[in-house]
Amino acid sequence: MPASPELEDLRHRVRTWCAANVPRDWRTTTAGADPAADVAFQRAWLTTLAAGGWAVPHWPAAYGGGRSLPEQAVIYEELARADAPRLSLHFVSLHHAAATLIHAGTPAQRERHLPAILDGELWCQGFSEPNAGSDLAALQAVGRPEGDHFVVNGQKTWSSAAAQARWCLLLVRTAPEAPKRKGISYLLLDLRSDGVEIRPIRNARGDAHFCEIFLTDVRIPRTNLIGAENDGWRVAQATLNTERGATMVELVERLRTGLGWLTDQLRAAGLLDDPDSHAAVRVTRFAAELRALRELVLRSLSPTITDAQAGILASMTKLAYSELLQDLTGFATDVSPLAVHLDSPLSAHSGWESGAWLLDFIGSWEWTIPGGTSEIQRTIIAERGLGLPREGAS
């Protein structure tokens, strides 16, 4: 991406702001924090970002954003380089929920929810079900139209941060007799409604980031319908595809930071003294793969890319990033001494990029599953990108 004087000026302003505002001890102070304290910390950091003008650069200008894709890339890159806290709890709120409301919501829905999102109100996603994960169109949760409401019964699973969220983006089947993708409606669910039960799912890291949501005769007002009844599948695809991947710049930059941590550890242990050693070769390979991944992400941000091309590049990016993340954290786990795993100076609470390599490696596996498994991404790339026929097609 060519650097213009305007982009360089923006980079300087973001870097200067980060130097003055990023809390340098945030990893230590948030280590082991309980969920309520984590929510409070992330909300406070969102408020700080919003005051600086960096919280929602991807939103339209009318709602406080209006930054171009290259400008977004610069902002996210500088936040990552400054090791600013990542708003992981607010990702669905700031991206998927906001995109849905901006592109398909009513004026009343946008007026109610967008300011609240920027003020820290949390959202989760109610898409996946026990028997409808990769095949989302097979969802079975039912929303029965009844006057001015939909009466919803069913179960959702793998819903990130549902235990802390107030609202949920919910897909339900409102026309059971229709073809799978034709009878789905998109609703906004207030998680404080009667009949909603949330059960945390404890994972291998020991936390309960994911949740199950059980819905029993939950009444959702028609005013919470996004788009037309039974048109939820199209709405979901259109709104969630509005993300062109600028946030991936931040994730790739943070992964480069992680490689820097690992390189420092290996150099201190003398494992990089021989440039032909296994460790040195792997580190060099990781650096090359990260550079290629960054170029792929930047290519996807080009204004000349069509929506169809952007979708294929998004699958390529997701596949490359998630599998590189697993490889790097797995290698770091293998070569790091036991003391690094037992007594890391960095907070494992911050997410996979904590530097506590064993926990990071365990956490990295979720990246190859949600949002379309690696197998699904390869199928998309093969069929839509390479034009290969579907299996069994004549």
Mark whether 77 is an active-site residue: no
Tally of residues, the chain: 394
Give yes or no for a contact between 118 and 101, defined as CB atoms under 8 angstroms apart. Answer: no
Of the candidates 109, 115, 117, the one whose C-alpha atom is nearest the C-alpha of residue 93 is 117
Q: What is the pLDDT of residues 293-352, one digit of tens each?
A: 999 998 888 878 887 888 889 889 999 999 999 999 999 999 887 655 655 544 444 456
Can you tell me whether residue 66 is helix, strand or coil? coil
Phi, psi of 46 (to 5 degrees): -60, -40
* pLDDT of res. 390: 81
| Torsion (CA) 152, 154, 160, 166 in degrees, nearest 10 | 30
Q: What is the pLDDT of residues 166-199, one digit of tens each?
A: 999 999 999 999 988 899 999 999 999 999 999 9
* Separation between Cα atoms, residue 232 and residue 185, nearest integer Å: 4
- Residue ranges per domain, the chain? 5-86, 123-230, 244-385
Q: What is the pLDDT of residues 150-166, one digit of tens each?
A: 999 999 998 989 999 99
- 202, two tokens: 């404890």
| Torsion (CA) 325, 288, 244, 9 in degrees, nearest 10 | 120
Q: If you average pLDDT over every residue of the chain, what do you get?
A: 89
Q: Which CATH superfamily, name and number, covers 244-385?
A: Butyryl-CoA Dehydrogenase, subunit A, domain 3 (1.20.140.10)
Q: Within a 10 A sphere around the Cβ of 50, how many other Cβ atoms?
A: 15
- 77, two tokens: 């890159």
109, pLDDT greater than 90: yes
- The pLDDT of 40-49, averaged and rounded, is 96
Angle at 106 between CA 103 and CA 112, to 5 degrees: 105
* pLDDT of res. 345: 44
* Separation between Cα atoms, residue 369 and residue 372, nearest integer Å: 6
The structure's pTM equals 0.88
Helix spans in the chain (H): 5-21, 26-30, 35-52, 69-81, 91, 98-104, 107-118, 232-240, 246-268, 278-300, 307-335, 338-342, 357-364, 374-380
CB-based contacts of 385, cutoff 8 Å, min separation 6 = 312, 315, 316
Query: Which candidate in 243, 289, 295, 391 is catalytic?
Result: 243
- For the domain spanning 123-230, the CATH number is 2.40.110.10
Tokens 């062109």, residue? 244
- 139, two tokens: 């969802």
* pLDDT of res. 95: 92
